[in-house]
Structures are given as structure tokens and as C-alpha cells.
Structure 1
């Protein structure tokens, strides 16, 4: 197999193009200066972009490159899920350090192609360049949805239930374990994989949007408190979260039982859960639980929207919990 330097930039682009299905005519993907893409009739285009920088968002030593490829697209798919959009196309840009292994790039592309195929999402273009630092990955994703079905952060109403999908805190605890030297292949794999290979809730987000039951929605990337705070800011309201009602996995309980203090900060502020948080009128509870059963994903009421302008977290004993930070921030 050729090395990356021998393959060259345009050879790498051709190599990437060969790994992914291309748009069907009259659309145009990789090969020209720009792509030509057409949304379905009556639908708006929904666009999101995420940047993953080595040493900030990921450590190549934590797991196989295939999982990094999967995660690179998953975090963008999660953004579309939170708006009830259907994934269509994505763009990949890579800044690659000198001497980087082509074998690692191959593994990364394997995972990226797996995730794209699972969600019927087509690679339509991108860019490559060298990096004087670590590996940098930028993915821009485009989806579509009928305008009246697109879910935003700005529709929450006082009295709404606050719901979350799946379980919280696994990814943050998994990252803590990875940073302590734990690696895949042991009892902590369920926690590590929530960090290394998150599952975007695309089908669930689409079902919730189509059902018309939800007032506001966001994906949990920076932590429940921070991301629910974004809904409250955009909706000009507040919220109260009951920590005793948060859905927690058996793996988190087992690992946390050995700690002197329960890791509530990881659960509500750790981030990278990539679950959905949404608000809905209380009268929609039964209908939402039916969607939960159909999608096979647990949905849990964890609090309510209030008239205040604050997000409060209430411990099981009824006292307020004040974490040192509401969620992850870069600056």
C-alpha cells in the first residue's frame, strides 16, 4: 500500500471518492469546484457543521480510527436529529499532519462510510490540506425537512414537560476512564463506547417532528444543564430538573457505586451524550411514550419548564444542586 506522501493530495481525494457513493444526476458531487444539490420539493435545507481537533475533541490513542470516523459524522447527524431533519449530504475536510499513517486514514474512512451508509447520507465534497499540528476534522452536513415540521430551541412553554432520550452521563464517565488509562476490551466497554461511538437519534428526532408533539428540542452535546439552558434562553423561560428522575444506565451505577460521591456533575454537565432533550405539553405524555416504544428508545420526563429565567437542578433530597460548571465550553 502506498504511503500518504506518495499518494499525494489529489490521489487522497480520488481515494476518498472511491469509497463513497456519489450523487445521482443531475446532482453533482466530488470532482468539480462545487457540488450541485437539490432538496426535495417543499422542503427547506438544514445545515450544520462541527470541527474536531486532535487534543481538544479526541485523542487517537483512545480507540481505533474506525470509531473516530463514525463519531465525526455522528455528532453532525445528532444536530439534524434535534431539528427533526432527514440527512442527505455531507462535506468532509481534513488537515493531516506530515507522516500521518495512511492505514489510520483508511480506518477513519471505514467508520465514516459505515455511519454514512446507516443514515443514507452522501459525501458530496470537501477539502484536504497539511497540518503543522494534530489531525483536524471538519464535517458539514445538510439535511431537509418541511418548514412546518422543523423543530427549534425557541418554542418551549411554561408548564411543558422536559424530556430526555436514552441515558445520561455514560459518555462523560467513559471519557474520565479513558483519561485514566482504561481502554476497550474490558468491563467498562459500554461506557467507553458511549464516548467513542455515540448513536445519533435521527429516527427518533424525525418521528417526534412528524408527530407534532414537541415544542422545542436540542441535542445534548455540552451537557443537559447547558443545552437545556439554550432552549430556555431562546424560549425566554426557565426549567427545573429533578436529578432523581434522570435516566442512568446500569453501567454508570455500577462504576459510580465505587465512588465516595455520586458523579452528578458528569451526568448533567459532562456532555457528549448526544441524546435528545425536548419540551412538550403534559397532555402529550401518552403519545410520546408510544413513539418511545415504536422507536425502541427510552424517553423520560425529567422536569418542567417554568416562568423563571434559570435552570435549576434539584437533588433527590429536595435541595438545589450547584455544579461548578453547567456544561463544556471551549473558552
Structure 2
């Protein structure tokens, strides 16, 4: 069946029947607006992302279910970067009229599987037809106590720069997809990233991260946002960058280029006071997540990159930019 056979309201009803209500949702799908009951003494944090066919994804590379999971994950990652617990989300989607209901069902299965996994509820959105491929827009809402919200602007000179997991994997996975590879660790890191929600909330709740961002556009670009808003500079030790074995094999000639400028790993990049290093290690070990200290916050501006032999390193591209 094609969507033109199902119709817009048939599609909305098809989606609504799959959604489970949550205590925080007073009114969900069906009215002109949703009604939500916020948790007492918390702020609501809101983030939005768009994913366009041919820009953010290629349906020749990914299955619909993985695309659904990723579409929600990239929004949840933004909430994680501020230490917020995700609660609800809105889904806007534009589809070609000949888009199959099978693909749509697969996409929604991925979205709602990820939603159930992280305890977030679909409360509404919008649907329309598209003349230029699939467009997905998700707005996610989360909560955190005001004093625990972690911003990009809290870094101070002398603090350590840290990152969870490994970096560069998703960018390497994209290169492999373009070469015709459709499976493997690096490919999965590109198509189905893991938002670090529990880690982000824990770092915030324990007052350990002074500034935080998720690695969506690349380590250099994203750390640059922290430095700019905090009024500081940073020095990164490239020998400390965490790379997976698969990434090292793929990027044997130059392990730093993709690791520094490649985006979509959705790891957390954050700053901590040196005295909290052991506390962070113990906390993240409880989640089975590794982290690496990759540099320090310094006076001035910009980011200095230092190779293991002490030589300066220059990146060709600092990170992803939609208009460059």
C-alpha cells in the first residue's frame, strides 16, 4: 500500500494506535495541541533536529527501522548533553505520496522502539506530502533541575577536556557506506548511534561536568563551541584521542583527520575539574562507559592540537557545516 491510498488522517491514526501514554501526558495525539504535566521544580529543555533525504541520510544505505531509531537518537543526544532526562517528543514528517506504508511502518517501529527504551512519549506533530524525498523533524523535550543544567559556557582554565567512548567511527562508517559496505561496527555507528542519556544525566546530577556538548559535528568543531561560549581556549593531546580498533585499521594512514572533524558519533564531550577525575571514572564505570581525558582548558582562544611527538597538527576541515 502507498501513502496516497492510506491518506493523511489514516496515517496519523496508524501512528497514534502504536503510541503508549505516559503519566506526564495529560492530552496526547488527537487534539490541536498536547497538554503536558511538568515535574515540579524542573526546567523544560527543548531541542529540535531535521533530517533530510540526501543530506543526513540515504535510503540506499539504511533500513527504515534504523533510520527511525537514529532520528530520535540525535535529539535525545542533545538533551543528554545538557543533563536532561527526556520526557516527550513531537514528530514532523514529510513523505512522497508513493512512499510505501511498509517503509513508514518500519520507520515508526524504530522511532517508537527507541522511545520506549528511553522512556520518552510521542505527543503529536505534523504530516504532509513532499516533492523532494523524505524529511523528518523531531522536537524533543526533557527536564532537569535549574541548578543542574549543564551548558556549553561553564568551562574554566585548568579543567580537563574529556570524551566518552570512541570518536571517528561514524565518519569512517559513512566512508564505508559510500564504498558499498553495508554492515560492520563502523557502519552501525553511523546508522544507529547510541545517545549517552544516562551518562549525561548522571554527570549533571552529581555536579561533575562544568560544560558539555555532544559530538555531532566533530571534536574540533564541538569543542570550539564550548571554548567560544566559555571564553577560553583548549589544548588537545592527539595521542589521547580514543579510537576503536576498527577505526585504527580503516584510518591507518592518518588516524586524526576523521577523528577530529568527523561528526555523528554522538559521544559526550565535557569538561571537569582535575580533582573529579577519579569520581567521573567510577561513575561512568557503573554504566559500562569508558571515557578519556584528551586535553585541558587554557587561557586565550582557539584549539591547539599536539601530536604524540609534540608537533603541532593542523586540521583541513574543522567539522561539518551545512553551508560550506
Which interval holds the TM-score relative to the shorter structure? over 0.9
| Offset, 1:26 | 6.8
Aligned match of 2:60: 61
> Does 2:269 correspond to 1:277?
yes
Could you tell me which residue of structure 2 aligns to residue 127 of structure 1? Answer: 126
Q: Which residue of 2 aligns with 1:20?
A: 19
TM-score by length of 1: 0.96
Alignment of 1:107-186 (within 5 A): 107-184=106-183
Give the Cα–Cα distance (whole angstroms) in 1 for the partners of residues 322 and 25 of structure 2.
41
- The number of equivalent residue pairs is 323
Question: 1:277–1:26: structure 2 CA closer, same or farther, 3 Å change rule?
Answer: closer
Question: Matched residues in 1 for 2:245 and 2:56: separation?
Answer: 26
Residues 13-58 of structure 1 deviation map (CA, whole Å, 9 limit, x = unaligned): 0001111112448710110111111210000000000000000000
Q: For structure 1, which runs of at least 5 residues remain unmatched after alignment? A: none
1:325: which partner in 2? 317
1:325 deviation in Å?
1.4
Q: TM-score, normalised by structure 2?
A: 0.98
2:2/2:97 contact within 8 Å kept: no
In structure 1, C-alpha distance between the alignment counterparts of 2:316 and 2:306, rounded to whole Å? 15
CA distance in 2 between counterparts of 1:3 and 1:131 reads: 14
Q: RMSD between aligned alpha carbons?
A: 1.1
Shift of 1:63: 1.9
How far the C-alpha of 1:265 sits from its partner, in A, is: 1.5
For residue 5 of structure 1, report the CA deviation from its aligned partner: 1.2
1:46/1:80 contact within 8 Å kept: yes
Counterparts of 1:133 and 1:293, CA distance in 2: 45
SS state at 2:224 partner: helix
1:61-111 per-residue CA deviation (whole Å, 9 max, x = no partner) reads 112110000000000000000000000000001010121111111110111
C-alpha change, 1:25 and 1:329, in structure 2 (3 Å) is: closer
Query: Could you say what secondary structure the match of 2:133 adopts?
Result: coil
Q: Residue 31 of structure 1 corresponds to which residue in structure 2? A: 30
